[in-house]
């Protein structure tokens, strides 16, 4: 599908008006004089090497100058890629093979918004287009290796990539991360995401923003699985580039069931050329892009391929403004969009960490990655995660002990009114999987209090304490009844604690081991923090290994402490 | 409440029961692998010398490793294109949850196995037979623990309940739905624990009646 290609508009200082001398008079004389002056000025302007005022003229001039160098320049080394393209009469464009609506290959045929944009550029330059398959990993290296002249491959323009390639501005599209979910689900903004699980792909730049709003992330390697995970209800919500979901929303069934709740993290897409040896090519493409926006060609091509037109329509208005529709419009900050700033503030010791990673790699061959120590937001999340984990463990141990004592005393009581409610609560807690107990605690906490870190931690501590304390309490209660059966009378509760020491200790350890599951209800402990960190950085294997070592070590310490507690309780029993 | 009734009148029950089957499936896999590994560890622990020391350390580490963290470790540390002896080794969600439960089940089986082997060596067959109710108890603990799969999108019983809960706007309806979940999980669990108690008491009585066996 090829859209109509606009041609550069004829340019000139102005066209002199024709008039009849008989009809002139004084006014006519003045008019003639003015016209004469204007004509002279026009001739001067035409003769002098004046700078063209519109992108069309600038482009025509640039191409004319480049063509004037042919064929002599074709054999010269280190000429600009624009010259090379004109010499070869073809431009090599890096393009994706499968990105629905934007670039798809079906046998020998390619189609999509980006394909037609590339063909339109070829026509403007008067050359053929050779498509070269690229993907997210190769679209920049192939430019640097001079295997392609231009990449048009769904590439977001961010500050990180700005140093690797020369982006063409104005941008040819803009995507945003869109949150998709069932139509009936009441989610309308970021504020509604707190505590909800959102399915995302690892490394997506917008994950950090979701995390900052309190959303829990479920990570996937490939975006392609997200629609299926929505359909099988693995994911209630999924966040991904709107250009990715665009195709799925053309499906009636998908469109009837799901809705784009809201969008955020807008990122402009840029065509790009190599930073070295492509100055003139980049300039030509900047001007072409300006013309395409102004004349609505991007809109025409976008409409042909059913891509979202909002950005393109907005850009058409921008590039029709007099201050933007000039040969220097693409350098005017009020006309072009800035790149997305994705740079994360490094920690003060990031360089040392990098050196350490290299040292380990050089000596052991282990590809160690410690993202939590290199970027300031990640380091902050990591520190908070460790602190909250320790708070959670201490809280869960205290709550387990407290509930064990309370429920144990009630279950060991002679009073029916104390004993049976405690038994029923224990039975219910034993019958509830811990995940469900946590969710119930979180639901009740959210119903009673405003959502906050304290609320979530409190709910998690209560749930872990109840689940484990009820079992330990049952052991205490049974110990009390067994002591009564043996004819013991005084100090029954203290003796029961000693007798049930093994079970109490076992459930205390179980409570400590269970704390990471609190991340399921959004407790910001270490598992939660590291999942968030890996969602926008690399080094998953190292990160989760550190997590496993941390929790295992902490539980071993708890086991050791509980062993001491058990000794004390058993010593008391022996003394009694 | 009408919203809840509408939901429950749809296909909730079949979905929930299918989810519970997944819980039992995960527990069964974890127990089978745990039995194989745990019995080996039990044998190692009783063999004496350095092997015992090493085995005790391994069992301690397995006992201390939190299931939920192990699950996320397996999920993220094993590449999707991993191979084992040339064969693809990509773990499904169910297998990831099941394998994350193996450290617990293997450590439990090792402890119960050591007790049982000691009883056997002492000639107390009934004491050794307590291994079976203990393993049954472990199985039901594993069934309950398999609900951790909800965190990685495995469609087990709790996942089905939570998905239904997402559709309910009423706080009360959600609590009623959760209560239904507790009852549904509680029935097999309480029946199983009652049976285990019965078997243990019967084994205990047999042991008391036949003391000659213990000599």
Check whether B186 has a pLDDT greater than 50: yes
In this predicted structure, what is the pLDDT of residue B8? 66
Q: Is B166 strand, coil or helix?
A: helix
Share the mean pLDDT of chain B. 83
Q: How many CB atoms lie within 10 A of CB A72?
A: 10
In this predicted structure, what is the pLDDT of residue A159? 84
Q: Which residue on chain B is closest to A428 by alpha carbon?
A: B182
In this predicted structure, what is the pLDDT of residue A401? 94
CA distance A299 to A293: 8
- Write the pLDDT tens digit of every residue in A245-300: 888 888 899 999 999 999 888 889 999 999 999 999 999 999 999 999 999 999 99
Task: Decide: A534 and B76 in contact? Cβ < 8 Å.
Answer: yes
In this predicted structure, what is the pLDDT of residue B189? 86
Minimal CA–CA distance to A550: which of B107, B53, B72, B54? B72
- Write the pLDDT tens digit of every residue in A522-549: 788 898 888 878 776 667 788 888 899 9
CA distance A180 to A157: 24
Phi, psi angle pair for A404, to nearest 5°: -60, -45
- Residue A50: which region, alpha, beta or left (left: phi > 0; alpha: psi -120 to 50)? beta
Structure confidence at residue A120 as a pLDDT band (50, 70, 90):
very high
Whole-number percent of chain A with pLDDT over 70 = 89
Structure confidence at residue A29 as a pLDDT band (50, 70, 90):
very low
Q: How many CB atoms lie within 10 A of CB B194?
A: 10
In this predicted structure, what is the pLDDT of residue A270? 95
In A66-105, the residues whose Cβ lies within 8 Å of chain B are none
The runs of H, that is alpha helices, within chain B are 2-7, 13-46, 49-64, 67-77, 93-122, 125-129, 131-145, 157-166, 171-209
In this predicted structure, what is the pLDDT of residue A272? 96
Whole-number percent of chain A with pLDDT over 90 = 46
Range in A86-100, A178-192, B188-202 the model is least confident about: B188-202
Task: Say if B28 is an interface residue toward chain A (CB within 8 Å).
Answer: no
Neighboring chain A residues of B96 at a CB cutoff of 8 Å: none
Check whether A369 has a pLDDT greater than 90: no
In this predicted structure, what is the pLDDT of residue B205? 64
Check whether A214 has a pLDDT greater than 90: no
- Write the pLDDT tens digit of every residue in A478-507: 889 888 888 877 788 888 888 888 888 888
Share the mean pLDDT of chain A. 85
Q: Which of B70, B169, B183 sits opposite A548 (nearest CB)?
A: B70
CA distance A387 to A368: 24
Q: Which residue has the higher pLDDT, A190 or A343?
A: A190
Mean pLDDT along residues A139-163: 90
CA distance A452 to A448: 12
Structure tokens at B11: 């296909």
Q: Which residue on chain A is closest to B79 by alpha carbon?
A: A541
Q: Are strands A272-274 and B83-84 parallel, antiparallel or unpaired?
A: unpaired
Range in A112-116, B80-84, B190-194 the model is least confident about: B80-84
Q: How many CB atoms lie within 10 A of CB B137?
A: 17
Check whether A49 has a pLDDT greater than 50: no
Residue showing tokens 């979701």:
A210
In this predicted structure, what is the pLDDT of residue A3? 36
Task: Decide: A133 and A97 in contact? Cβ < 8 Å.
Answer: yes
In this predicted structure, what is the pLDDT of residue A18? 36
Task: Say if B189 is an interface residue toward chain A (CB within 8 Å).
Answer: yes
Check whether B143 has a pLDDT greater than 50: yes
Neighboring chain A residues of B165 at a CB cutoff of 8 Å: 439, 443
Question: Considering Cα of A327, then A331, then A333, then A337, what sign does the dihedral take?
Answer: positive
Range in A36-50, A67-81, A252-266, A403-417 the model is least confident about: A36-50
Q: Which residue on chain B is closest to A540 by alpha carbon?
A: B76
In this predicted structure, what is the pLDDT of residue A459? 93
Structure confidence at residue A37 as a pLDDT band (50, 70, 90):
low
Range in A186-190, A207-211, A399-403, A556-560 the model is least confident about: A207-211
The runs of H, that is alpha helices, within A339-486 are 350-364, 371-374, 376-411, 416-431, 434-448, 453-485
Structure confidence at residue A203 as a pLDDT band (50, 70, 90):
low
Structure confidence at residue B69 as a pLDDT band (50, 70, 90):
very high
Mean pLDDT along residues A98-125: 92
Q: Are strands A90-95 and A128-133 parallel, antiparallel or unpaired?
A: parallel
- Residue B196: which region, alpha, beta or left (left: phi > 0; alpha: psi -120 to 50)? alpha
Record: contact B161-A514, CB cut-off 8 A:
no
Neighboring chain B residues of A229 at a CB cutoff of 8 Å: 153
In this predicted structure, what is the pLDDT of residue A33? 52
In this predicted structure, what is the pLDDT of residue A200? 85
CA distance A566 to A503: 10
Task: Say if B147 is an interface residue toward chain A (CB within 8 Å).
Answer: yes
Task: Say if B17 is an interface residue toward chain A (CB within 8 Å).
Answer: no
In this predicted structure, what is the pLDDT of residue B135? 85
Exposed, middle or buried, B68 (CB in 10 Å: 0-12/13-18/19+)? buried
Predicted-assembly ipTM surpassing the 0.90 threshold: no
CA distances from A349 to A68, A343, A368, A379, A526 (A): 55, 17, 16, 11, 21
Structure tokens at A238: 């999924």
The runs of H, that is alpha helices, within A237-296 are 242-248, 252-257, 279-294
Range in A163-172, A313-322, B135-144 the model is least confident about: B135-144
The runs of H, that is alpha helices, within A412-452 are 416-431, 434-448
Check whether A47 has a pLDDT greater than 50: no
């Amino acid at each position: 599908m090829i859209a109509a290609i606009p041609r550069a508009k004829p340019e000139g200082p102005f066209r002199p008006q024709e008039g009849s001398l008989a009809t002139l008079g004084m006014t006519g004389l003045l008019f003639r004089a003015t016209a004469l002056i204007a004509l002279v000025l026009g001739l001067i302007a035409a003769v002098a090497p004046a700078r063209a005022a519109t992108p069309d003229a600038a482009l025509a001039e640039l191409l004319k100058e480049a063509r004037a160098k042919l064929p002599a320049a074709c054999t010269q080394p280190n000429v600009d890629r624009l010259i090379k393209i004109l010499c070869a009469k073809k431009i090599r464009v890096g393009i994706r093979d499968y990105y629905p609506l934007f670039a798809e290959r079906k046998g020998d045929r390619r189609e999509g918004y980006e394909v037609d944009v590339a063909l339109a550029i070829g026509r403007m330059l008067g050359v053929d287009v050779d498509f070269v398959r690229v993907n997210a990993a190769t679209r920049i290296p192939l430019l640097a290796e001079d295997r392609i002249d231009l990449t048009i491959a769904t590439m977001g323009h961010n500050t990180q990539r700005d140093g690797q390639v020369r982006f063409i501005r104005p941008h040819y599209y803009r995507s945003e991360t869109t949150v998709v979910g069932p139509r009936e689900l009441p989610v309308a903004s970021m504020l509604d995401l707190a505590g909800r699980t959102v399915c995302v792909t690892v490394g997506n730049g917008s994950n950090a923003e979701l995390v900052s709003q309190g959303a829990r992330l479920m990570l996937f390697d490939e975006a392609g699985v997200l629609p299926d995970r929505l359909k099988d209800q693995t994911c209630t919500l999924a966040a991904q580039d709107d250009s990715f979901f665009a195709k799925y929303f053309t499906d009636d069934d998908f469109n009837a069931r799901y809705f784009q709740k809201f969008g955020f993290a807008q990122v402009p897409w840029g065509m790009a050329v190599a930073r070295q040896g492509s100055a003139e090519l980049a300039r030509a493409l900047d001007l072409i892009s300006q013309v395409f926006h102004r004349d609505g060609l991007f809109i025409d091509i976008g409409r042909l391929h059913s891509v979202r037109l909002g950005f393109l329509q907005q850009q058409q208005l921008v590039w029709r403004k007099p201050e933007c529709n000039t040969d220097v419009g693409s350098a005017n900050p009020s006309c072009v969009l800035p790149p997305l700033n994705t740079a994360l503030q490094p920690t003060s010791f990031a360089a040392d960490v990098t050196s350490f990673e290299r040292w380990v790699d050089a000596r052991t061959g282990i590809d160690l990655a410690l993202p939590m120590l290199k970027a300031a937001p990640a380091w902050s999340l990591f520190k908070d995660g460790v602190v909250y984990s320790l708070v959670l463990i201490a809280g869960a141990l205290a709550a387990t002990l407290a509930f064990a004592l309370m429920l144990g005393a009630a279950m060991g009581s002679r009073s029916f009114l104390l004993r049976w409610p405690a038994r029923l609560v224990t039975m219910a807690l034993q019958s509830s999987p811990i995940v469900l107990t946590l969710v119930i605690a979180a639901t009740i906490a959210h119903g009673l209090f405003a959502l906050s870190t304290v609320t979530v931690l409190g709910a998690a501590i209560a749930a872990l304490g109840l689940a484990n304390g009820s079992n330990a309490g049952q052991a205490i209660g049974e110990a009390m009844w067994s002591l009564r059966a043996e004819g013991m009378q005084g100090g029954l509760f203290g003796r029961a604690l000693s007798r049930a020491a093994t079970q109490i200790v076992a459930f205390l350890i179980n409570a400590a081991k269970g704390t990471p599951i609190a991340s399921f209800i959004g407790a910001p402990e270490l598992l939660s923090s590291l999942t968030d960190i890996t969602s926008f950085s690399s080094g998953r294997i190292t990160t989760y290994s550190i997590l496993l070592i941390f929790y295992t070590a902490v539980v071993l310490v708890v086991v050791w402490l509980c062993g001491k507690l058990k000794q004390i309780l058993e010593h008391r029993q022996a003394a009694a | 409440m009408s919203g809840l009734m509408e939901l429950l009148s749809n296909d909730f029950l079949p979905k929930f029961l299918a989810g519970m089957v997944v819980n039992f499936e995960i527990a069964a896999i974890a127990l089978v692998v745990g039995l194989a590994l745990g019995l080996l560890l039990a044998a190692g622990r009783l063999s004496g010398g350095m092997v015992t020391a090493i085995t005790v350390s391994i069992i301690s580490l397995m006992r201390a490793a939190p299931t939920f963290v192990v699950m996320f470790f397996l999920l993220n540390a094993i590449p999707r294109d991993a191979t084992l002896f040339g064969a693809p080794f990509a773990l499904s969600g169910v297998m990831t949850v099941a394998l994350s439960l193996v450290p617990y089940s293997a450590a439990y089986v090792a402890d119960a196995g050591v007790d049982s082997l000691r009883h056997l060596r002492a000639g107390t067959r009934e004491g050794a037979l307590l291994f079976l109710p203990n393993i049954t108890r472990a199985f039901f603990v594993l069934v309950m623990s398999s609900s951790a799969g909800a965190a990685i999108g495995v469609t087990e019983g709790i996942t089905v309940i939570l998905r239904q809960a997402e559709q309910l706007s009423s706080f009360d309806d959600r609590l009623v739905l959760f209560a239904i979940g507790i009852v549904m999980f509680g029935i097999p669990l309480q029946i199983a624990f009652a049976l285990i108690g019965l078997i243990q008491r019967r084994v205990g009585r047999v042991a008391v009646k036949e003391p000659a066996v213990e000599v």
